[in-house]
Amino acid sequence: MPTLPFVPKHFSPSPFSLAMQKLSSKAKVFGGMLIASGTFSVQAMEVDDDLQLAAAHIEEVEVFADKIVKDVSIGRNLLDADELGRSVQVISAPLIDNIKPTAIEDILVLSSNVAFLGDNDGRENTFVLRGFQSPPILRDGFRVETFGGVSDPELYNVERIEVLKGPDSILYGESNPGGLINLHLKRPLSEDHAEYTIEVGSNPSFSPKFDIGGGINESVRYRLVGLYKNDDGWRDYDNENERLFFAPSMSWALSDNTLLTALAEITEDDFQADFGTAINLKGDLIADPEQVNNHPQDTIERYSRTMGVDLSHEFNDQWQTDVRARYIEGGYEYSALLLPFGLDQDTLFYFRVPAQQEQDNEELALQINLNGDFQIADMRNRLSVGVDYRESTTENSTRFDPTSPVFLDWQNPDYSQLPPPASSIPVATGFYTNEDITRVGVFLQNHLNITEQFMLSVGVRYDDVEREPLSGSSSSAQEYDNTAGQVGLRYDLTDNASLFANYSESFSPNFVLDKNNNVLEPEIGDGYELGIKGNLLEGRIDYTFALFDITKTNVAILDPTAQATDPNPFGQIAQGEQTSEGAELDISGMVTDLWRINLAVGYTDTEAENGMEIIGAPDLTASLWSAYQLTDNWSAGGSVEYVGERLATNDPVYLDTHYVVNAFVGYDLGPWKYQLNLTNLTDEEYVDAAWGSLSRSVHAGAPLQALFSVTYTPK
């Protein structure tokens, strides 16, 4: 995707070959390690018979007035999380509500081997998952190519977050070999319900929210989720951050076996154009993290609009299908600004250039799934067949003037010189693309129970991708196809513990040109995983422990043979390789009827094509979240988060380890709930993320902040 001349994006992908010998050799390393992860409880209301398909294949278990949701919509099949022969973590609504996150990174740290990488200058959230950069973020199982449209997703409309670990291009096509992240959005419920919340923060910030819905009649249900947020932010900008969000949805039970759901999401943002801060060659912050390196008045306007329809039909007890469609449009517009482009480490003067960019995107996405559950020769088959179609169009305009720099003394900043009007900044050429990309994919996957305890999973997918430059584009046309495979095993040791192993593949486009302006071959990834998952304490605690080994090839690197006389003197070649291996443990659930925990520990050892670690990938991540019901009215809890040392640039510059401590206390009084959340209790000053630069896309952690919320839920 096109970006300002900021930080390059990184992707990932590999060929399908049966490599079970490597799996068996790693089984010796795995030995008898018996520990690990799981799901988290989600507060959901019962669905009546007419709308049973709305919660198809969901097993609900009453726990502490909440329910644990066992389905994994990211799987596009009839299996629940316990049955999948791979590592999947589910972070659900009560946990999200207790944490009161201001951004998705506040939640994803609760999954092992996930680390924040940055927000690509305010356009998209970026993470490292199992050592690899930029895992796709799905919404209800749909890839969102709308650049900027997925940035800062509204978590108030998220029912749960699902993290699928390891390479997987079987279900969704192109992806990163680290895994996938799926946001499962709120849907209509059978019961009438209403929730009204007001949040007040120390920034200061103010946000009224509502979530209402129920039945119009016996077969029609609706839900309305919305909010407004005004936040001054904690950095020294002149403007406020504002968000307006609205998400209506409605479900119709057309018959006992057919359900139609229509939904929409509308987000309008007007917020600070934050390009981060600066660090020195030791990885330490140079100035007060509140200090701004562009101009305090710089802003970004961003919008995202989604309309969708889901149709589910159950033919009989064995076969079920669903047809789903999404139309998505989104984009952003920077004000004319002074783009920080570099910092002299000796003089501490910022080199800033006038710039402006705007971009609009449209996408149409279709999914057709057919799922069967049937017997052949006394063996249970759960077969999934799917077809995907996506067409996305990107149009942008970029202005950029490196010949008129505006310097800033980082030790004594003077912001009196304003950015020039956008009309006076020359239009840039050669940096960005106007393009139309069409993707068609088909997959087949079967989960075969050879015995009641032993399950074999096999899947294959074929994708065809066409990229067409539009008028005014500097890019080249591209067409390629890819076949990816997956094979996995799961063996039930007991009713409460299962061993699993899998080999899976992924691919991702290489929208990079060689010295002759030809597009490179896609990146290819393959990975091996061994693990054990199950539950303890009569099903109250879920755990997963996994070992993994992942390789990505065809990584774009500079072509050493490129000459100044070549059509593209900055051409690259697809010869790089990145590897990641490690282990992870995830545990979640109820220790007692009053005590809930979520523990995540991850270790990775990565190596990039240059022999160094992969930028942004910490060697160790760990988090512990805990909540306790003190009395009938009072509850309290908190979390400790740890991120290990990470490579920030190839100089090399490393970021130090850091800890963050958070806490909350809640009081329930009838329909009223009061809650106080404190983040970064120790007011730790630290660098949260840095991606290949010392002077931009360097994110300092937020200081100590407080958020007080009042929620009214009519009984």
Cα 52 to Cα 59: distance, rounded to the nearest angstrom: 12
pLDDT at 433: 66
Q: Any idea what the Cα angle at residue 368 is, between residues 362 and 369, rounded to 5°?
A: 140
Cα 669 to Cα 657: distance, rounded to the nearest angstrom: 41
- E strand map for 656-695: 658-669, 672-679, 687-690
Q: What is the CATH number of the domain that holds 650?
A: 2.40.170.20
Residue 11 lies in a domain: no
Residue 10 lies in a domain: no
Cα 166 to Cα 179: distance, rounded to the nearest angstrom: 4
Amino acid at 706: A
Number of domains in the chain: 1
Cα 339 to Cα 349: distance, rounded to the nearest angstrom: 14
Q: Which is nearest to 513 in space by CA: 550, 545, 471, 474?
A: 474
User: Cα–chain-centroid distance for residue 84?
Assistant: 20
Q: Which is nearest to 510 in space by CA: 11, 76, 127?
A: 11
User: Cα–chain-centroid distance for residue 183?
Assistant: 8
Pairing of strands 646-649, 478-494: unpaired
Q: How far is CA 328 from CA 144, 267, 305, 625, in A?
A: 8, 12, 6, 35
Task: Write down the pTM of the prediction.
Answer: 0.86
CB atoms within 10 A of CB 362: 17
Cα 425 to Cα 559: distance, rounded to the nearest angstrom: 32
Residue 264 DSSP code: E
Q: List the structure tokens of 570.
A: 């900055």
Residue 9 lies in a domain: no
Residue 494 lies in a domain: yes
Residue 423 lies in a domain: yes
Residue 22 DSSP code: H
Side-chain half-sphere exposure of 675, counting CA atoms within 13 A: 20
Task: Name every residue whose Cβ is closer than 8 Å to that of residue 643 and which is 6 or more positions away in sequence.
Answer: 109, 115, 618, 620, 621, 657, 658
Amino acid at 586: D
Residue 654 lies in a domain: yes
Tell me the average confidence (pLDDT) per consecutive run of 10 residues in the chain, 715 residues long: 36 36 39 32 34 33 29 67 85 86 90 92 89 90 65 89 91 90 91 96 97 93 97 95 97 92 96 94 95 95 94 91 93 94 94 93 94 93 95 90 93 93 85 81 96 95 88 69 94 95 91 79 93 93 96 89 80 90 96 95 94 94 96 96 94 94 96 97 95 90 97 93
Q: Peptide bond before 204: cis, by omega within 30 degrees of 0?
A: yes
Residue 473 lies in a domain: yes
Question: Using an 8 Å Cβ cutoff, are 230 and 206 in contact?
Answer: yes
Residue numbers of the domain that contains 103: 20-712
Residue 361 DSSP code: E
710 by DSSP, 3-state: which? Answer: strand
Q: Any idea what the Cα angle at residue 292 is, between residues 291 and 295, rounded to 5°?
A: 145
Cα 377 to Cα 706: distance, rounded to the nearest angstrom: 61
Side-chain half-sphere exposure of 51, counting CA atoms within 13 A: 24
Task: Name every residue whose Cβ is closer than 8 Å to that of residue 533 and which is 6 or more positions away in sequence.
Answer: 36, 37, 38, 82, 87, 497, 498, 500, 542, 543, 544, 545
pLDDT at 602: 97
Dihedral sign from CA coordinates of 484, 322, 165, 642: positive
Residue 1 lies in a domain: no
Cα 209 to Cα 707: distance, rounded to the nearest angstrom: 14
Task: Name every residue whose Cβ is closer than 8 Å to that of residue 702 and which is 6 or more positions away in sequence.
Answer: 102, 234, 679, 680
